[in-house]
């Protein structure tokens, strides 16, 4: 997860161009994150290449929130400007023709010139899916995080409540974070447990899936993965719930737990004001446990 910096001034499409917004889902396992790199193996690189082939002109996209290597997207939103006038369904089918199987455009929609995928977002949502099992993941390897010990639901909920509201999240910020301010407003954290159909082994415990959901005005680089490391330390009983508040107050990355794996992290998408008329969710949402 890359930082969502304060909004830049909203640019508008030149008079001869129209603006299109797209919702994109992807499995981030094979890619070096969202943002374009010289290697060319990023989600943005593949999307822009596919758009260029379909549109027959170079297309540059701007996204709602950049994701790190290994992080997945359920509804990343991008916008781009084009001289073409094509039906929304044509943009979806045509672009998907040229995309790898693990990246898909879910929807496309013309938007007013003043819309900006990042600057118009009023919040962002992420989910972390965690498998609790004595046995490591197999068919869902890379798509879920994993712990091999039981977690205390009540303790994690108590710890999470201390992070809600506006805070300086320096303790949960990566050293490479480029955000101008560490102060963010964490509006929602939900932690739910879904039992697995697998039976408990002779020695051990019944597996289950945990789903952690986060909503904030913006996030810092590695912020959720660093919070996850701390919540799991509490859930495991290594730290008491009030320790999270102490970590937050310390404003030091050294005070927190190690950064947790990117495997189970999903960018659920941005939140926009209703007047933009954009979809709130896609079918990709329904995959999560």
Tokens representing 8? 């830049």
The set of catalytic residues is 68
Contact 221, 176 (CB under 8 A): yes
Distance of alpha carbon 238 from alpha carbon 154, whole angstroms: 14
Q: Evaluate the CA torsion angle 235, 237, 238, 241 in order and state its sign.
A: positive
Match 């304060």 to its residue by tokens: 6
Rg (Cα) of the chain, in Å, rounded?
20
What is the distance between the alpha carbons of residues 233 and 227, in angstroms, rounded to a whole number?
Answer: 10
Residues 50 and 98: beta-carbon distance below 8 Å: yes
Token pair listed for 236: 């495991």
């Amino acid at each position: 997860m890359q930082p969502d910096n304060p909004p830049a001034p909203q640019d508008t499409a030149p008079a001869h161009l129209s603006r299109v917004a797209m919702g994109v889902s992807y499995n981030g396992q094979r890619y070096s994150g969202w943002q374009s790199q010289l290697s060319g193996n990023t989600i943005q690189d593949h999307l822009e290449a596919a758009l260029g082939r379909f549109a027959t002109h170079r297309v540059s996209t701007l996204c709602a929130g950049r994701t790190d290597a290994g992080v997945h997207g359920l509804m990343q939103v991008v916008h781009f400007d084009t001289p073409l006038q094509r039906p929304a369904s044509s943009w979806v089918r045509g672009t998907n023709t040229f995309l790898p199987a693990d990246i898909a455009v879910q929807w496309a929609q013309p938007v007013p010139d003043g819309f900006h995928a990042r600057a118009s977002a009023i919040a962002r949502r992420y989910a972390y899916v965690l498998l609790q099992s004595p046995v490591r993941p197999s068919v869902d390897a890379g798509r879920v995080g994993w712990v091999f010990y039981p977690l205390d639901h009540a303790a994690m909920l108590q710890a999470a409540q201390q992070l809600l509201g506006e805070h300086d999240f320096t303790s949960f910020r990566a050293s490479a974070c480029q955000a101008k301010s560490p102060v963010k407003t964490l509006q929602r954290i939900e932690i739910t447990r879904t039992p697995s159909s697998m039976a408990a082994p002779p020695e051990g415990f019944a597996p289950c899936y945990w789903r952690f959901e986060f909503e904030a005005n913006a996030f810092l680089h590695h912020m959720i993965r660093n919070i996850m490391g701390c919540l799991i330390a509490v859930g495991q009983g290594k730290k008491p719930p009030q320790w999270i508040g102490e970590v937050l107050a310390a404003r030091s990355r050294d005070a927190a737990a190690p950064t947790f794996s990117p495997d189970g992290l999903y960018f659920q998408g941005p939140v926009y004001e209703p007047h933009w008329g954009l979809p709130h969710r896609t079918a990709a949402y329904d995959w999560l446990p």
